[in-house]
Amino acid sequence: MHVVLATAEAAPLAQTGILGDVCASLATELHRAGHHASIVMPAFRSALESGLEIARTEAELSVAIGSKNVTGRLLRSRLPQADVPVYLIEQDDYFNRPGLYLDRDGRDYKDNCERFTFFCRAAMQALPHLEPEVDVLHAHDWPAGLMPAYLAAEFRHLPGYGQIVSLFTVHHAAMQGNFWHWDMLLTGLDWKYFNWQQMEFFGNLSLLKTGIVFADAVTTVSPTYAQEIQSAPLGCGLEGVFRHRRDVLAGICHGIDDRLWDPKTSPHLPAGFSADDPSGKERCKAAVQPELGLPARADVPLVALAGPMSKEAGSDLAAALIAQWCESFDVQWAIVPSAVGQYGRQFDELAQQHAQRVAVRNAAPDLLHRVLAGSDLLLLPSRCEPCGQLQLCAMRYGAVPVARATGGLIDTIADAAPAALAEGTATGFLFPDDSVTSIAQALKRACTMYRQDARTWRSLVTAGMSRDSSWRRSAQKYIDVYTRTLAQRRQEVAI
């Protein structure tokens, strides 16, 4: 089958977060599984300056945006890691800008609805130019949210579109693409669709809701998150819409590139190691501690805290916990933020006050590899985590996650409860509440096991390192959804 991933982001052409990695990795694994996979995305400035070879095609695109006509062109490139074509919608007035969604001052572009309306309509026009014939249109998040609606309301009965089914993936229900109601005119869709059951959301136009409502199937990024978004607060006002579509809603966890995150072969590590031969991990710890400015001690647990420093990530809870523990517990902390956020100053102050126990460094990719390889534990105090990849990378590198029991963290971490420990399936420690007390209790369990029960700790590390977290596994689950949705569509057409 031929799957087209419609997205605003695909690494390395354009990326602000995990979405870019997900789309590139999924397309790559679909190709490796023997399917045709393509990506269609805007020709952002970052894509044009990515260094990848980009060629013009003969396809010119003309799109009605409200009362005006806007033209563009279809460009073609290819992912560097696989034989996956990337089609870029070129329209410099809309996309050749410093940021993907935000201006230099960090504010949303005022014409974001117009920009992504153009992208969605132009991408729909481009589908017949792609080879072979498209079977599945897989749209990601609100920037591609209009595409399932265009397919269902306008394009499905046109030549070259009748066989296509649409899948819409919600990566985070809070990112909704909401615009004032008069922007409905830009979409070109009939005003009859602007109602509470379809495109209207508390008086506004919601592109995320539009994608959820009109798609043939809907996925999100973990089974637990698929349940959580069917009620408040994680449904973010759309819980009724998710419940209405629950029969076609599935949760599929992210994977990681297990070739990149291979502790035996990673070029970023001072020593290789594996679940069968873990001795190199000790060398990684001994090397990263002085690199971070911490004393090289094998006896003290080294706890990593990585990713964005935000309230949603529980960074305020982590800062309060670390402040308490630095006064009472012999533990080292390696803090490697991917984005400083509002809590950066608190962590910097902790590092200044407790230089022998707390280190803060910006999370360059190679450093993150070394920190996870050298750490014994990874703390994930997230209030909300639709899926996440850090816990998967940590387990692959022998760092045991201590995490809030939410979203994809529940689906990817097996708590060290007695039954799981007896079966040898436990991979981490989960805590139930977004409170410092709850985190502390789980972390005490982890540190006690680390210090007092080396055999059980080794079993925990081995189980995590042996877990299949590859994108191959995740891609197969998407293939199952594609196949099921295509079969349903063909059955409907036959009737």
Q: Is residue 479 part of a domain?
A: yes
- The answer to whether residue 271 is domain-embedded is no
Place of tokens 């609100």: 142
SS3 201: strand
Same domain, 293 and 395: yes
- Total domain count, the chain: 2
Shortest CA distance to 485 belongs to which of 224, 221, 219, 141? 219
Q: What pLDDT does 495 receive?
A: 63
Q: What percent of the chain has pLDDT over 70?
A: 99
In a domain, 265, yes or no: no
Do 211 and 344 fall within a single domain?
Answer: no
Q: Token pair 């805007």 is at which residue?
A: 42
SS3 at position 426: coil
User: Do the domain assignments include residue 339?
Assistant: yes
Same domain (yes/no): 235, 352:
no
Domain containing residue 425: CATH number: 3.40.50.2000
Which residue do the tokens 């006690």 mark?
448
**Whether residue 446 is found in the same domain as residue 399:** yes
- Which of 391, 372, 379 has its CA nearest to residue 431? 379
253: nearest Cα among 400, 407, 453, 92: 407
Report if residue 270 sits inside a domain.
no
State whether 60 and 128 are in the same domain: yes
Query: Residue 297 domain-assigned?
Result: yes
Does one domain contain both 452 and 484? Answer: no
The sheet carrying 358-360 orders its strands as 358-360, 332-339, 302-308, 377-380, 400-404, 429-431
Entry pTM: 0.94
Q: How far apart are CA 401 and CA 393, in angstroms?
A: 10
For residue 272, is it within any domain? no
pLDDT in tens, 227-280: 999 999 999 999 999 999 999 999 999 999 989 999 999 999 999 999 999 899
Give all strands (DSSP E) within 66-215, no chain letters. 68-78, 85-90, 136-140, 165-170, 178-179, 200-201, 204-206
> 285 and 244 in one domain?
no
In a domain, 274, yes or no: no
Quick: pLDDT tens for 169-209: 999 999 999 999 999 999 999 999 999 999 999 999 999 99
Asked whether residue 462 falls in the same domain as residue 478, the answer is no
* Inter-axis angle of helices 454-466 and 436-452, nearest 10: 110
User: Domain check: are 369 and 486 in the same one?
Assistant: no
Q: Is residue 250 located within the same domain as residue 337? A: no
At residue 70, what is the residue type?
A: V
**Are residue 165 and residue 288 in the same domain, yes or no?**
no
Q: Look up the domain containing 91 and give its range.
A: 2-255+473-494
| Same structural domain, 464 and 482 | no
